[in-house]
Chains A and B, each alone.
Chain A
Amino acid sequence: MIQQKIQKKDRFASRRQFLLPGSFLLISFLLMLLPLEGVVASVKAVLSYVFIPPIRASHETVKYAQDVHRTVRELLTVHQENQNLKQRMETAQLLIAQAENVMAENERLNTILDMGPQHRWTGQWARVAYREPTQWNTVIIDKGSDNGIRVRSAVLAVEKEQECLAGVVVEVADTTAKVLLVTDEDFSASVQIGQQQETGLLQGGGLMASRVKYIPLLANIVPGDKVYTASSSSIFPAGIVVGKVSAVRQDDSFQTALTVEIEPQMRAGAVKELFVITEENKK
């Protein structure tokens, strides 16, 4: 009798042993049967509140750790760059001293030869803050009238380690300004080409090549000649590189002047930093 009772108890215990996994398997099966919306979505949302925070925390920790690693690496790089820049600054100091001597001598010679005074200019470096996707030839910079920038201020860029004409300021707000680049169809400037310093009018070409008009027919201009801003320009300082001649055309027999296509030095799509001339000092 007692043995029967014990056997019965054991059987019950062994059945109970399978009750829990059986229930869990049944629940899982039912969850799989249900559509992902409604109840399942709610269960998922509740579970996400419980399970996701540690994952998110570890993700943030790893991100932070990665950033620390990157920051340390950057610090090491910056240290190296700092050393190089210090050396370049020392060289630049020497060059500045030489340049000052040259400028002083230039001024003295100008006075002796009774030539017009040279212009010197100062300005502001600005970053391209926004570029309208539909208007590639216009950029907005992060400096404005608060920094001394005015409408019609000349804008330069540095391309291939040489300063070049970038455009002109057309709109100014307190902290931003809109720059019309040399490649825009509405852009024009007085320029000089080649060794004979032929003067013409540069016009942006938009999607086409920029062109210089009103060059005399007999002017000796060949592809590769450098194009500079002319001293007759009221906006741009003279002698700034604009680009180089890419083609010379004489489109029809009635034409009285050459049309010169130029390749601007500044790459409109790649420009990131610009120098805006805010003051042109006569010295």
Chain B
Amino acid sequence: MMRAFLKLVVLFVLGTVCHWAGATFFLYLGLSVNLMLVFMTALCSVLPMRVGYTVAFLSGLFLDCFGTKLFGNNAFSFTVAACVVYSLRERFDFDSIFPQMLTVFGLTCLVGILNSILLFWFTANAMWPGIVSLLGGALIGTFTAPLIFWVVRRWWLGNSSKRS
């Protein structure tokens, strides 16, 4: 139990660091890359529901800490994204690369649009990153997804990458 918790903490910290690095690097290219979402998706694909939802909520709160206009929108959209992952888990085989990439692409777009709507609704601020930025960021997240999924599954499930 304790070991699993520590593993989860390590993965979460890794996710925050990767997200920071990705966001900082791709910011100069004008792309809104959300690697935290990719980590969250990968974690939800292996974790039980209770833990997965908590991780998604906390990941969202982590991103909300950096916001200045609204607090809680990322927590909301990440929890919605976790709901989507758990509903897809019964239908998709997340051991394969294609479902991983497809899910991440769809979720990045969903979270981006949802965040923009929430920001517009609650603060009347138009924070739409732009279609190029959103799709570019989604594509980068999509192509990094297999690696992140592999790291998460390898770290969480050990040598056997198949979910038990």
Contact = CB atoms under 8 A, between A and B. Distances in A.
A55 B83 CA distance: 27
B82 A21 contact: yes
A59 B80 contact: no
Contact of A59 (B13, B20, B73): B20
Interface of A: 17, 20-21, 24-25, 27-34, 36, 40, 43-44, 47-48, 51-52, 54-55, 58-59, 62
Nearest to B74: A28
Interface residues of B, number: 29
Is the contact region of chain A dominated by helix, strand, or loop, or is it mixed? helix
Interface stretch (B57-65, B141-149, B155-163): B57-65
Given A55-B16, A58-B17, A31 B49 contact: no
A25 B114 CA distance: 13
Contacts of B122: 32-33
A43 B60 CA distance: 13
A30 B57 CA distance: 14
Nearest to B68: A36
Interface in B128-150: none
Given A28-B79, A36-B71, 17 more contacts: A20-B50, A20-B53, A21-B79, A21-B83, A24-B54, A24-B56, A28-B57, A28-B73, A28-B75, A28-B76, A29-B72, A32-B122, A48-B65, A51-B65, A54-B13, A55-B16, A55-B17
A34 B62 CA distance: 18
Contacts of A24: 53-54, 56-57, 75, 79
A221 to B, nearest CB: 58
Contacts of B102: none
A25 B65 contact: no
